[in-house]
Amino acid sequence: MRETWRWFGPADEIAISEIVQTGAQGIVSALHHVATGAVWTPDEIARRKAEIEGGEDAPTGLTWDVVESLPVSEAIKTQTGDWRAHLDTYRESLAHLADAGVQVICYNFMPVLDWTRTDLAHPVPGGGTAMHFELADFVGFDLFTLARAGAEADYPEELREEAARRHAARSEAERLRLARNIVAGLPGAAEHWDIEDVRAALAAYDGIDADRLRAHLDTFLAEVVPTAERLGLRLCCHPDDPPFPLLGLPRIVSTEEDYARLVEAVPSPANGITLCTGSLGVAPDFDPVRFVERLGPHIHFVHLRNTARGPMRGGRCSFTESAHLAGDTDMVATIRALVAEERRRVAEGRADAPIPMRPDHGHALLSDLQRPMMPGYPLIGRMRGLAELRGVMAAV
């Protein structure tokens, strides 16, 4: 597997020179400063490519291997406003990326919030910190801070009562910090949301259930996959994180069956999967080996991350991001299945036999705790994860 590292561009506190020292071969990046729905211009793409790869006089040895993400606008997801114009700009951006030689394009179809955690620096044994999702705290935010209409019907009574107790015991400053954590969105993104922004975004999904959102995803795929195939690109959809409904919004890329439906909706080598073991692994019935054996030919990109989940409550659960070789997902078995898929591709003569992977997230450890960092993206913690995963890959 090809070892990559996520870098958020010049705003990232981790420098390219430091990433070189991790042993990573490629970079996963995006034009986070460009507003969603705008065109990624050749000049902006070339600038990011040069920042990653260096010049002729001082090459870094790294390459820009994966775009994560070329975002799908809320207008496209809801099919409102300028959504058709956004499809045009999406296809134009794909063409410019193809011209620059970047072939793997990750995206997601999560409504409103791209990922959700309640604690961005949860203490873990040994002195480090991890990302954490505490279900009762999220329910308290939904019921009492956001005060979403109809939220009570989404949660069992016992969970609502626990959420009320935790909310009442929290200071106003703690409530504000929780709200900021939940609406934080992806690190490095151009847009930064507040509570009113979330309320307005939720209103745009009135009347959009899971079936309708799936139909909108199918429309998106029908519009962009032929362009990607013509350009020799590989699109890969990231799963919902976490893989269960939040804020009354539908989640449609949360299970193995969801992915089987996605790749069948528009059959094409350009219509593929980002396998994120951390996102999918929160679900207790997720079987990564079965997933790879069934859908492996469609996997274009892999996030290797692990989580430890709490008990299921009303179809949802709390979870903590664990060390890469700990948690509920058997990472050794997962990597063994992925390496077998790569060997099958080699036997078929596929040019995309090496699957790019990256160590996703990681505990903040050692000097990570004394330096600023993007939430979930520490230097030492990810380097530890990459080293562990590299060892497993070498062994299998």
Just list the catalytic residues: 238, 276, 303, 360-361, 377
> DSSP string covering 340-364, please?
HHHHHHHHHT-TT-SPEEEE----B
Provide the angle, in degrees to the nearest 10, between the axes of the packed helices 288-295 and 331-348. Answer: 10
Alpha carbon of 313 to those of 160, 244, 323: distances in Å? 11, 11, 24
Q: Is the peptide bond before 69 cis (omega within 30 degrees of 0)?
A: yes
Could you tell me which of 75, 101, 78, 100 has the C-alpha nearest to residue 88? 75
3-state secondary structure of 158: helix
- Residues 299 and 277: their CA atoms lie apart, in Å, by 12
Burial per residue of 250-268, b for 16 or more beta-carbon CB atoms within 10 angstroms, e otherwise:
bbbbbbbebbeebbebbeb
Q: What strand order describes the sheet that includes 129-133?
A: 119-123, 129-133, 319-322, 306-309
Amino acid at 127: G
* Consecutive H or E run containing 226: helix 210-231
- Residues 117 and 184: their CA atoms lie apart, in Å, by 9
- Residues 56 and 197: their CA atoms lie apart, in Å, by 45
Residue 122: phi and psi, rounded to 5, are: -80, 125
- Residues 25 and 289: their CA atoms lie apart, in Å, by 25
Q: Are strands 63-68 and 104-108 parallel, antiparallel or unpaired?
A: parallel
- Residues 167 and 172: their CA atoms lie apart, in Å, by 10
Q: Which residues pair with 319 in a beta bridge?
A: 133, 309
Number of C-alpha atoms within 13 angstroms, CB side, residue 233?
A: 28
